[in-house]
Amino acid sequence: MPSSVSNPLKKVPPTFEFPQFRKDVGQLSMARRSIRGVLLHIDIDPAATTVDTLITLLDHFYEFPEEYKEIIYASI
């Protein structure tokens, strides 16, 4: 058989690559669930809230967790 013609019977071993853990997508999913969980308890319109306002609000509740707890228990 000429060298320019490939042998159809010669099998090329498949290359196996381990799937990468999708850390980036996992972090986005976790952030989405966490933000949604907070927004369910706070009386704000997510469509009308800027990211800056949300971060300021989260910082406030981080400094004063009792206020956040009051809101959570009042909404149940």
Report yes or no: 75 and 41 within 8 Å, Cβ to Cβ. yes
Take residue 31 and report the two structure tokens written for it: 């952030």
Taking only the tens place, the pLDDT of each residue in 48-70 is 889 999 999 999 999 999 999 99
3: DSSP letter: T
Taking only the tens place, the pLDDT of each residue in 6-59 is 666 666 666 655 555 567 778 888 999 998 888 888 888 888 889 999 999 999
Report the distance separating Cα 31 and Cα 19, nearest Å: 23
Report yes or no: 39 and 46 within 8 Å, Cβ to Cβ. yes
The domain segmentation of the chain, as residue ranges, is: 40-76
pTM over 0.75: no
Take residue 14 and report the two structure tokens written for it: 């498949």
Report yes or no: 35 and 28 within 8 Å, Cβ to Cβ. no
